[in-house]
Amino acid sequence: MLNFEFKNPTKILFGAGQIAKITAEIPKDAKVLVLYGGGSIKSNGIYEQVTKALADHSYITFGGIPANPEYEVLLEALALIKKEAVTFLLAVGGGSVIDGTKFLSSAALYTGDSPWDILKNGIRTEVGMPFGAVLTLPATGSEMNSGAVITRAATQEKLGMGGPGLFPIFSVLDPTVIQSIPTKQLANGITDAFTHVLEQYMTFPTQALLQDRFAESIMQTLIEVAPRIMANPKDYKAASDFMWSCTMALNGLIQKGVPTDWAVHAIGHELTAAYSIDHARTLAIIAGNHYRYNFEAKKEKLAQYAQRVWNISGEDTDALAHAAIEQTEAFFHSLGIDTKLSQYVSQYEGTAESVQERFIQRGWLGIGEHKTLSPTDVAAIIKMSY
Amino acid sequence: MLNFEFKNPTKILFGAGQIAKITAEIPKDAKVLVLYGGGSIKSNGIYEQVTKALADHSYITFGGIPANPEYEVLLEALALIKKEAVTFLLAVGGGSVIDGTKFLSSAALYTGDSPWDILKNGIRTEVGMPFGAVLTLPATGSEMNSGAVITRAATQEKLGMGGPGLFPIFSVLDPTVIQSIPTKQLANGITDAFTHVLEQYMTFPTQALLQDRFAESIMQTLIEVAPRIMANPKDYKAASDFMWSCTMALNGLIQKGVPTDWAVHAIGHELTAAYSIDHARTLAIIAGNHYRYNFEAKKEKLAQYAQRVWNISGEDTDALAHAAIEQTEAFFHSLGIDTKLSQYVSQYEGTAESVQERFIQRGWLGIGEHKTLSPTDVAAIIKMSY
């Protein structure tokens, strides 16, 4: 096991009816900015529960944060925070709203010239404006971690940020919110969470026995609940397991003490930036081919995954590993998630070269578990995924 | 899944050499009291590492905290804290030293008449004096939770306390400390951690799929590393898995959203209070018979445990469940842990009756997962364990 530091101070409030508890979690004298996305929270009852819980607080609202939270939109919210002397942020939404709120938490206290520098220069946020979250879409784990990814349409960039100041003070996880999520979004959420685990697990073999088993536990649970959730989002028990699995998939726990990869995300973000393909779907496009391309480095772990997660028996490491890749893509297909770029966009020729060029420009000359996957390798993986 | 709240703010510093990092984790202007046990830290190099890391801090020391931290001894430390205006506590030891430090953290700020009231009246500690820990014996999980158990020899009592103010600010988990732990203590640690998981897992079946799998993961890991640790405590990889498993067994994570039992601990504590049997060994004495006595309530989960943790195949729930109990006791035996009270004390007659009487006096009329296990039931379980 590698040396590590772990601290995750986010308070989780889990279960039906827990939104009401935010009353006690936000300081009474706070000036609250409630942030949300496209407005679905106004039709599914969540907005009503939140505003009821804030009845004794001073609050204003800012809606319209899009999927892949857009920098230009966030700048409008930032102006509002400054104008209204906001002191506490409340994200009510999925990963995009929470990520956008994290950017605002950091930017609100940032004293440099341009808040884009936080992203461009990888400035770590030690202290941010305090914020909480009411999660409406399980997927990203943003509700219990200190990372965010922000998109800037003008430059087709999608960049990450983070730091210990960006953990939510609290997050409400109420599984009943899943009832009103469209099937397509549920499929995205399952795929996103599943791939988060793969990124932290599918590396060369290490001896971190517990982390391996925890990662396998999350994947086994997602596989078990996926068909039930897809068939009936009102299945509260399945929704609970799904929601908690998504959070545990990316709250830092399973990545501690082990190498991680994250090449699938690095490449996938480019496809979202270029074609606005849903984040989770870009992961499904890339994951299988990333493992095929890096087969020799990962086949031992792929074989372990085949046996423990997919219950595939056999002795041959290569055969097990190949079967695991096939099973993974079959799982995505079972959710209605396509795994070829050409199934999403008709004009995909040149994608590999343009991403390669972009990586070179940014100086991203080695990604993946060993930081050895070059822009040329990235291009090859993308071509396999056309 | 049941509704739950979860927050665990302890910072973990994991790995060889991490003790040096405490320098940066303790405020520079703190007056530190270093607490330890029997003095083994002075021969195994840990004391030296700690004092070196504290070279620029003002600190004093207090040694001699015994296993099952004794109230009268802790009162001496409390007097020292007040006399020397201590502001930060540093536990260097196993669960007993850390638990004792938690009592002191609470008692140092307690304004009532007698600090024993914190235990006797179950007073929750919202704010305690800040403290950190350097773990020298993996077992109890105290390094990453907010609970403690304190013993008072004069009255043969062993009582629990807790509250959100009692999480360590940080805990150092350096697996190299395991090298100098006597085999008997290692066996105790494995048994203690394993039983912690059982207490949170072996209940009526619930649908909390991820918590079940996490609990099973910890037990599988302990089973896998136990023989390696017992054979060679210098096996750093095995020591790492062991140490992290003990912490994860009782840091709150696997108990969230599920019923828990804790009857084995409630009964076991009485055997330690009466006969000074090592805590872990009292758990091994009681666990199997608790499951036999409550077989109908627990057999479904016992069968799941048989299949997933012990890889026992079969269709018959009763047979699987019985086999699981046998395997559990065989595991304890493999560590050199006896599972009969008569193997520890020659004069054990009357134990069942005296514990029964004690439970009645305290008003503990129903323990276990359903709070229905009466003092009479407790006596019956103890008699099965003679």
Band of pLDDT at residue B68, cut at 50, 70 and 90? confident
d(CA A239, CA A74): 31
Contacts of B1 in chain A (CB under 8 A): 14-15, 175, 237, 240-241, 244
Tokens at residue B32, please? Answer: 């530190």
Average pLDDT over residues A298-320: 97
A262 to chain B, any CB pair closer than 8 A? The answer is no
Contacts of B17 in chain A (CB under 8 A): 3
Give me the residues paired with residue B237 across strands.
none
pLDDT number for residue B177:
96
Query: Kindly report the CA angle at A247 between A150 and A310, in degrees rounded to 5?
Result: 110
Closest CA–CA distance from residue B48 to any residue of chain A (Å): 21
Closest CA–CA distance from residue B24 to any residue of chain A (Å): 13
Tokens at residue A363, please? Answer: 């100086």
Domains of chain B, first to last = 11-176 (3.40.50.1970), 183-384 (1.20.1090.10)
pLDDT tens digits, B122-153: 999 999 999 999 999 999 999 999 999 999 98
Using DSSP, state whether B10 is helix, strand or coil. Answer: strand
Band of pLDDT at residue A106, cut at 50, 70 and 90? very high
Indicate the Cα dihedral angle B68, B74, B76, B80, nearest 10°: 140
B5 to chain A, any CB pair closer than 8 A? The answer is yes
| In the block, residue with structure tokens 């638990």 | B99
Give me the residues paired with residue A134 across strands.
A92, A172
Residue A385: name the closest of A332, A314, A312 by CA: A332
d(CA B342, CA B5): 42
Buried b (16+ CB within 10 A) or exposed e, B58-88: ebebbbebbbbbbbebbbebbebbeeeebbb
Phi, psi of B53 (to 5 degrees): -70, -25
Query: Kindly report the CA angle at B229 between B227 and B233, in degrees rounded to 5?
Result: 145
For residue B62, what is the enclosing H or E element?
A: strand B58-62
Under 8 Å between Cβ of A192 and A280 = yes
A304 to chain B, any CB pair closer than 8 A? The answer is no
pLDDT tens digits, B264-321: 999 999 999 899 999 999 999 999 999 999 999 999 999 999 999 999 999 999 999 9
Among A241, A244, A257, beta carbon nearest to B14: A257
d(CA B306, CA B325): 8
A251 to chain B, any CB pair closer than 8 A? The answer is no
Tokens at residue A214, please? Answer: 């925890």
Tokens at residue B238, please? Answer: 């095995």
Q: Indicate yes or no: CB of A240 within 8 angstroms of CB of B257.
A: yes
Residue type, B50: V
> What radius of gyration do chain A's Cα atoms show?
20
* CB within 8 Å of A156: residues ≥ 6 apart: A273, A274
Mean pLDDT in chain B? Answer: 96
pLDDT tens digits, A57-101: 999 999 999 988 999 999 999 999 999 999 999 999 999 999 999
pLDDT number for residue B80:
98
pLDDT number for residue B54:
98
Under 8 Å between Cβ of B238 and B225 = yes
Contacts of A244 in chain B (CB under 8 A): 1, 210, 257
pLDDT tens digits, B222-257: 999 999 999 999 999 999 999 999 999 999 999 999
* CB within 8 Å of B22: residues ≥ 6 apart: B13, B50, B53, B54, B90, B132, B134, B170, B172
Residue type, A93: G
pLDDT at B347 over 90: yes
pLDDT number for residue B39:
84
pLDDT number for residue A218:
98
d(CA A14, CA B5): 6
d(CA A174, CA B246): 30
Distances (CA, A) of B250 to A270, B145, B243, B253, B370: 41, 7, 12, 7, 21
Minimal Cα distance from A244: which residue of B? B210
Among A208, A216, A225, beta carbon nearest to B209: A225
Residue type, B112: G
Among A14, A210, A257, beta carbon nearest to B257: A14
Band of pLDDT at residue A166, cut at 50, 70 and 90? very high
Under 8 Å between Cβ of B238 and B229 = yes
How would you write chain A as a 3-class SS string?
Answer: CCCEEEEEEEEEEECCCHHHHHHHHCCCCCEEEEEECCCHHHCCCHHHHHHHHCCCCEEEEECCCCCCCEHHHHHHHHHHHHHCCCCEEEEEECHHHHHHHHHHHHHHHCCCCCCHHHHHCCCCCCCCCCEEEEECCCCCCHHHCCEEEEEEHHHCEEEEEECHHHCCCEEEECHHHHHHCCHHHHHHHHHHHHHHHHHHHCCCCCCCHHHHHHHHHHHHHHHHHHHHHHHCCCCHHHHHHHHHHHHHHCCCHHHCCCCCCCHHHHHHHHHHHHHCCCHHHHHHHHHHHHHHHCHHHHHHHHHHHHHHCCCCCCCCHHHHHHHHHHHHHHHHHHCCCCCCHHHCCCCCCCHHHHHHHHHHHHCCCCECCCCCECHHHHHHHHHHCC
Q: Longest Cα pair distance anywhere in chain A, in angstroms? A: 65
Q: Indicate yes or no: CB of B209 within 8 angstroms of CB of A221.
A: yes
d(CA B264, CA B368): 8
Under 8 Å between Cβ of A171 and A12 = yes
Q: Indicate yes or no: CB of B14 within 8 angstroms of CB of A7.
A: no
Mean pLDDT in chain A? Answer: 96
pLDDT at B167 over 90: yes
Residue A27: name the closest of A84, A83, A80, A87 by CA: A87
A149 to chain B, any CB pair closer than 8 A? The answer is no
| In the block, residue with structure tokens 């009479």 | B376
d(CA B114, CA B103): 13
Contacts of A14 in chain B (CB under 8 A): 1, 3-6, 256-257
Band of pLDDT at residue A104, cut at 50, 70 and 90? very high
Mutate to test the interface with B, among A12, A170, A210 (most CBs of B within 10 A): A210
ipTM of the complex: 0.96
d(CA A324, CA A202): 11
pLDDT at B326 over 90: yes
Q: Indicate yes or no: CB of B16 within 8 angstroms of CB of A3.
A: yes
pLDDT at B183 over 90: yes
For residue B209, what is the enclosing H or E element?
A: helix B209-231
Tokens at residue A111, please? Answer: 């004293």
d(CA B150, CA B68): 6
Average pLDDT over residues A26-54: 96
For residue B61, what is the enclosing H or E element?
A: strand B58-62
Closest CA–CA distance from residue B377 to any residue of chain A (Å): 33
Query: How many Cβ atoms sit within 10 Å of the Cβ of residue A298?
Result: 24
Q: Chain A, 345-384: which have a CB under 8 Å from a chain B CB?
A: none
pLDDT number for residue B206:
82
Under 8 Å between Cβ of B43 and B49 = no
Residue type, A35: L
pLDDT number for residue A349:
96
Residue A222: name the closest of A250, A203, A194, A187 by CA: A194
Residue type, B44: N
